[in-house]
Amino acid sequence: EILSPLSPSSGSRDRESACCLIEALTMNALDAFLGLLLHIWGLLLTLLLTVLQPLIKLVIRACCRRDAFGDARDGLTSHLNCRTTISSRDAPAAAEKDNPTCTFVCASYNILAPCYVKCVDFPYCSRKAISPERRFERVVAEVKSLGADVVGFQETQREVLDQHLRSELNEIGYGELFFDSKTLGKGAQFPEGLLTAVRSDRFTVEHKTTVKLDERVKKAVRGMAGSRVTEADIDGLALPGGNVGQVLLLRCRTSGRLLLFANVHIHYFWLR
């Protein structure tokens, strides 16, 4: 009798090994296929984002421009204008006849002094757009559209006032212009300062004063300082860069009521 070289038990083990091998190959192939699908999906998603990103930016910029330019007038007017009605609600009727209400519009406008304008800070603007001639032509147009009775300008340079603002503001009714430059100490003047423009057909200027903020602060510190604080310590205070304030007492031409108007621009200082 000739016996088979493979016993039944050996054949079972071989079939089991073959099944395990086929299963392993199948799982490896499935893993590779899934990995390939994920890789392709990642590439497609990256490509899609690469294509859509510029489009999304364009849409966002378009929306921002529409909001900025379409609603700028309303937003700027609501932000800058302060419509105030002065009345005596509790006063007798006879007193109101003698002292009628006065409605007026005030505006505050930081016009960015040319000494602070650098092309590197405005890469999205052409040189013509940031030139003083173009910028202050648009500033005057904006002030005219606001229709304010009193305007407080900040960061105004003397040469800008003389070359671009004085005659233009006079033409649209601002007959009273008051300019004060910042001070650097010992009589030196800073390149920019404050300008207050008043419509001469609405108000008369009863009084105007300039407040030197640094001197006021030092005076207040001297009044409260103890014996340990020396004059050198007070002179070395981190004060707001020679800033000044303007205070005007105005009288309404139609009602005779008084209005106290202040214009100030506090210097930014990171230790403040």
SS (H, E, C) 205-242: EEEEEEEEHHHHHHHHHHHHCCCCCCHHHHHCCCCCCC
For range 170-187, the mean pLDDT: 85
Q: Which of 5-19, 82-96, 145-159 has the highest mean pLDDT?
A: 145-159
d(CA 94, CA 92): 5
CB–CB of 206/250 below 8 Å? yes
| pTM for the structure as a whole | 0.59
Of the options 1.10.3720.10, 2.60.120.1440, 3.60.10.10, 3.50.50.60, the CATH number for the domain spanning 97-264: 3.60.10.10
How does DSSP classify residue 129? T
Residue spans per domain, the chain: 97-264
Q: How do residues 132-166 score in pLDDT, each as one tens digit?
A: 999 999 999 999 999 999 999 999 999 999 999 99
pLDDT exceeds 60 at position 269: no
